[in-house]
Amino acid sequence: MERQKKRWEDHTVMHINRLLGHAAFDRYPSYEAALREDKSKRDVISLNGSWDFLYLEAPEYSPSDFYKPEADTKEWGTITVPSCWQLKGYGQMHYTDVLYLFPINPPYVPTKNPTGIYRRSFAVGEEWLNNRTIIKFHGIESAYDLWVNGQYVGYSKVSRMSAEFDLTGIITAGENQITVRVYQWSDGTYLEDQDMWWLSGIYRDVELINMGHTCIRDCHIETDLNETYEDGILKVKVLMDKPSGDTSLQWVLLDEEEKTISEGSLANISETTGIHIPVEKVKLWNAEKPYGYTFLLMRYQGEELKEAIPFYAGFRKIEIKGSTFTVNGKAVLLNGVNRHDFDPENGRTVTKENMLSDILLMKQHNINAIRCSHYPANEYLYELCDRYGLYVIDEADLECHGFELSGEYNRISNDPSWENAYVDRVKRMIERDRNHPCIIMWSLGNESSFGCNFEKMARIAKELDPTRLIHYEGDSEAKVTDVYSTMYTRLNKLIEIGEGDQGENKPHVMCEYGHSMGNGPGGLFEYQQVYRKYERLQGGFIWEWFDHGIETRRDNGEIYYKYGGDYGDTPTNGSFCIDGLLFPDRTPSPALKEYKHVIAPVKAVLKSWEDRLIEVENCYDFLSLEHLELQWNISYDDKVLFEGERKDLNVLPGTKQEMKLSCGPITPLPNTDYYLNLIFVLKEDTSYAKAGHLVAREQFHLPVFLEERSKYSEKDSFNVVSGETEIVIQNENTEVVFNTVYGTLVSYKAYGRELVNKGPELTVDRAIIDNDMYKKEDWRNKYFLQLSSEQLEAMQIEQKKENVVVTFYKYFSCLNQSWGYYLIYRYHLHSDGKLELKLTGEVRKEGEIFPSMLPRIGIVFHTPKLTEVAWYGKGYEENYCDSAKAAFMGVYRGNVGSFHTDYAYPQENGHREQVKWFSLTDGKEGLLIKAAGPVGINVHDYTKEALEKAAHIGCIEKSDDVVVNIDYRQSGLGSNSCGEEQLEPYRTALEDFKIHLEFSKVKAFDEIAESKKIYF
């Protein structure tokens, strides 16, 4: 017997009684209200708030009278609308990247289909009955039926798209009752398998809208420019419902200063009306300078204004020229991010404040583009992108990624019976969003293979809107798209694309790259260099903007963030949803700050310090640098030697300009580095940042150095006491204890203060970062890097009157490995309390099995609780060899806690590169360590083992000591959780190494002076 389809399992039914799609806009009763967009004046009732709610395992368990006004709801719960019901305590939280949560049997879904019934009442006045009343659902996941006053109204699906129904003749004056039954699973779910939490419910706003029976139903705005991009034309297509003989339209086009550019009126209105408005010397819209006109459309009945609708009109033209796409005639470089709608407390329910915060942060971090991954965003986001200036790829709510794992990736994408379901999604997106100038491309979806249904989507998209480009990465040969899109393309392959003609030589966009999971990504600078080198490569979009952690509080009020598996959800992709440039609390990660620097619109080089000559490059596509000011100084240590005169800038887009700096000669202090710092800031307030906001920064080491060597003060002799397992070496200033069984330093004391109480020992391991996930198996279970040991082979003591040299010859390797290092630890004890360590490692390779890359080569040791840190190196925040462009040399101060970066999934963090000295003190005195050459450091109050054991913020077991890593080299981050491995220059090879350090006691804040005394 053939299985009977339920309504929510019929992919051929797009809707029941849903109104036709149209542009998103608001109606106002007056010209002034429309011009000011005073939403309080609209005839709109919000149905947000508390609703009665009944959660069921399946729709069939619905009470027989659930939709009737008289239904008994005393035993029901309540829920806030908008929200996702899983985050309100109903149903099961579950995260997967690719997997469907049920067998693949389209269009059928599980019989056990979690269902939520929503009910509430609302009141309208008598005057509402004289007009037409529409209910608008901005977003419900995944399908739903609607009843009002016990009468069935209709059905809709497509979770991330608005839907409207006509309630005229159904509602009554006074109290009315509405019921919505929402199904978690529907045939539409097969097209909504995006990488995110599976969430359900009425998660966007619900509104009642009152309008005339005669009304403006839709308005499509299109702009065009002449060949010189100097003059424009505004093309308006107005669709009317039930126009009558006395219906007329008036319109006015205003500039940003509300000056009238053009106005007019039309009588004898038909159901379709066109308006063409030429604009000479038009001001253009682009993401760098988003100039917006206001087109105000008014409907009159006789002499009475019935509705006024404002539209934001940005004049811009998108074209393909050769192998590049242009905006207003200029090729643009997309420095973008992928963005989901997400909030750590409310899931896919996001507020206007959330969205504004996102846009401001993006602008402040030099981001100029958003890909709405992988569905149309809340309508308000596009308004913000229009006004603040961001290019947008708007993406249809379509992904059927789970089919890839079934071996039938294009099963429904190439099934004609699903054609209408596919087309419906792109059609409704375009109808809703096409008036926004920020949108430059329509994306047909994500990770759904390819087939006839995508070909039809592309044709429909071009029919609806021929002015924009078509994007879809799944069209791997760019058959129907206007751009050739790839994701996570390796750098060498990207260069091949830049130099070749793959994808029919169409413009290339990387729709996803730089996977920002945990600590990373690294290598962004190299990608940006390649984008800038090849004209065809027009940038890309980092995956992704925001960590999808769920905010959770422990009993003590401490906040941490859950991810897949924390709710007993299985199978799951765990912390794969923690992959954003913003942490879950919406604070910028180190990666976002690195990305800001890498994509900065201003670059500079020091051409000649002797001539005080710099070169400034304007990387904007449209803006000159007139809005910026150059501030510059000469710095050393933690001081500014010279503050230069501030400079105005007037560098045209895409050009370079040389500039002279006025600065006299520098008389250098001994053993002191000097740096030229160029700081580019906003000259005046903008819509997204205040005057003085940092846009870009560069630093250059100056060829000014005075070397001066010091000599150790060798006065007091040492007493060496040898025991069965230890050697104690001491004089009036120093006591050093070595274990002669293991050949290790047990304790180092200087002037009565213990400064080291364990180690150092060689380590080649680090706590696994997310981007190490594909190396983890080898590192942990093939090479056993975490199970290393040192074997003492010989030791030697050379005692002189004023100093002692203790040398340990050791062999280092890991469990069951035949590769390793021959180590020589040479400790030189000076009578003035200083301890010098020279560590050399010579590789031993026996056989052919050894790691091609090590996480690090360095030493680890412990100090007592010395919690204040100072260092001279890259800072202030953490940085790694392939993610250090935004970090600058200087002397920085913090505490051990400031070296910890709170990744939602704990992992290696807090590293600082290019360190020449650092200190650990208790605020008064402590340990100073100088390095003969730059090293990397980590300083934490926990061990690597404790860090790896922890699964969440706040779960790391603290150590009684401070744990210090000093690295000869640590491998970079890469983005191999989904993408490029560490690039070759940033890999730590199994190679010979040397580490040369000096340990001494120091008073807090005397470190800089002491660091100038160079003894080796």
Whether the Cβ atoms of residue 968 and residue 995 lie closer than 8 Å to each other: yes
991 counts as catalytic? no
CATH code, 719-1011? 2.70.98.10
Q: How far apart are CA 454 and CA 423, in angstroms?
A: 8
Q: How far apart are CA 475 and CA 452, in angstroms?
A: 11
Whether the Cβ atoms of residue 530 and residue 494 lie closer than 8 Å to each other: yes
Q: How far apart are CA 854 and CA 970, in angstroms?
A: 8
SS (H, E, C) 36-55: HCCHHHCCEEECCEEEEEEE
For the stretch 543-581, pLDDT in tens is 999 999 999 999 999 999 999 999 999 999 999 999 999
**Which tokens is 307 given?**
């509705």
Other Cβ atoms closer than 10 A to 364: 18
Q: How far apart are CA 122 and CA 171, in angstroms?
A: 10
Across 495-601, the runs of DSSP E, i.e. the strands, are: 508-513, 537-542, 550-553, 559-562
Residue in 395, 447, 698, 908 annotated catalytic:
447
**Phi, psi for residue 56 in degrees, rounded to 5:** -130, 155
Other Cβ atoms closer than 10 A to 109: 25
> Is pLDDT of 142 > 90?
yes
For the stretch 180-234, pLDDT in tens is 999 999 999 999 999 999 999 999 999 999 999 999 999 999 999 999 999 999 9
Radius of gyration of the chain (CA): 33
> Is pLDDT of 236 > 90?
yes
Average pLDDT value for the chain: 97
**Ramachandran bin of 916, using left for φ above 0, alpha for ψ from -120 to 50, beta for the remaining angles:** alpha
Q: Is 159 helix (H, G, I), strand (E, B) or coil?
A: coil
For the stretch 261-315, pLDDT in tens is 999 999 989 999 999 999 999 999 999 999 999 999 999 999 999 999 999 999 9
Whether the Cβ atoms of residue 232 and residue 282 lie closer than 8 Å to each other: yes
**Residue in 834, 840, 874 with CA at minimum distance from that of residue 1016:** 834
Q: How confident is the model at residue 363 (pLDDT cuts 50, 70, 90)?
A: very high
Q: How far apart are CA 923 and CA 869, in angstroms?
A: 9
Q: How far apart are CA 187 and CA 109, in angstroms?
A: 7
User: Which residue bears the tokens 């109903």?
Assistant: 90
Identify the pLDDT of residue 715: 76
Q: How far apart are CA 161 and CA 9, in angstroms?
A: 19
Q: How far is CA 628 from CA 17, 78, 502, 773, in A?
A: 54, 53, 39, 42
Q: Is 492 helix (H, G, I), strand (E, B) or coil?
A: helix
Provide mean pLDDT across the span 929-942: 98
Q: How far apart are CA 162 and CA 980, in angstroms?
A: 37
- Give the long-range contacts of residues 749-753, CB within 8 A, separation 24 or more: 750/833, 750/834, 750/835, 750/999, 750/1000, 750/1001, 751/833, 751/1001, 753/925, 753/926, 753/1001
Q: How far apart are CA 839 and CA 827, in angstroms?
A: 9
**Residue 743: which residues within 8 A CB-CB, separation 6 or more?**
790, 792, 795, 808, 809, 810, 825
**Residue in 852, 882, 860 with CA at minimum distance from that of residue 990:** 852
Q: At what angle do helices 379-388 and 419-433 cross, to 10 degrees?
A: 50
Residue in 164, 473, 512, 925 annotated catalytic:
512
Cα-based angle 1000, 1003, 1009 (whole degrees, multiple of 5): 80
Provide mean pLDDT across the span 855-873: 98
Residue 910: DSSP 8-state: -
447 counts as catalytic? yes
**Residue 407: which residues within 8 A CB-CB, separation 6 or more?**
none
CATH code, 318-547+588-597? 3.20.20.80
Q: How confident is the model at residue 855 (pLDDT cuts 50, 70, 90)?
A: very high
**Residue in 756, 819, 758, 826 with CA at minimum distance from that of residue 788:** 819
SS (H, E, C) 772-832: HCCCHHHHHHCCCCCCEEEEEEEEEEEECCCEEEEEEEEEEEECCCCCEEEEEEEEEEECC
Q: How far is CA 910 from CA 771, 887, 898, 902, in A?
A: 16, 13, 8, 9
Whether the Cβ atoms of residue 651 and residue 633 lie closer than 8 Å to each other: no
- 0.75 cut: is pTM over it? yes
Q: What is the DSSP string of 923-957?
A: SSEEEEEEEEEEEEEEEESS-HHHHHH--STT-PP
Fold agreement between 216-313 and 318-547+588-597: no
Give the dihedral sign, CA 591/596/598/599: positive
Spans of all domains in the chain: 7-211, 216-313, 318-547+588-597, 600-701, 719-1011
**Which tokens is 994 given?**
């040397």
Which amino acid makes up residue 13?
Answer: V
CATH code, 7-211? 2.60.120.260
Which amino acid makes up residue 941?
Answer: D
Q: Is 877 helix (H, G, I), strand (E, B) or coil?
A: coil
| Pairing state between β 484-487 and 508-513 | parallel
State percent of the chain over pLDDT 90. Answer: 97
> Is pLDDT of 107 > 70?
yes
| Pairing state between β 537-542 and 334-339 | parallel
Identify the pLDDT of residue 713: 78
**Which tokens is 40 given?**
């309080």
State percent of the chain over pLDDT 70. Answer: 100
Q: How far apart are CA 14 and CA 107, in angstroms?
A: 13
For the stretch 465-515, pLDDT in tens is 999 999 999 999 999 999 999 999 999 999 999 999 999 999 999 999 999
Other Cβ atoms closer than 10 A to 690: 10
Provide mean pLDDT across the span 598-615: 98
Q: What is the DSSP string of 532-563?
A: HH-TTEEEEEES-SB--PEEEE-TTS-EEEE-
Taking domain 600-701, whether its CATH number is 2.60.40.10 is answered by yes
**Which tokens is 579 given?**
């992959």
Q: How confident is the model at residue 178 (pLDDT cuts 50, 70, 90)?
A: very high
Homologous superfamily of 216-313: Immunoglobulins (2.60.40.10)
> Is pLDDT of 1 > 70?
no
Identify the pLDDT of residue 573: 98
Q: Which residues does residue 560 pair with via DSSP β-bridges, in sequence order?
A: 552
**Which tokens is 845 given?**
């390779």
**Which tokens is 622 given?**
């449209």
Q: Which residues does residue 571 pair with via DSSP β-bridges, in sequence order?
A: none
Provide mean pLDDT across the span 907-930: 98
Q: How far apart are CA 54 and CA 65, in angstroms?
A: 13
Cα-based angle 584, 585, 591 (whole degrees, multiple of 5): 65
Q: How far apart are CA 866 and CA 529, in angstroms?
A: 42
For the stretch 964-989, pLDDT in tens is 999 999 999 999 999 999 999 999 99
User: Which residue bears the tokens 């039938």?
Assistant: 408
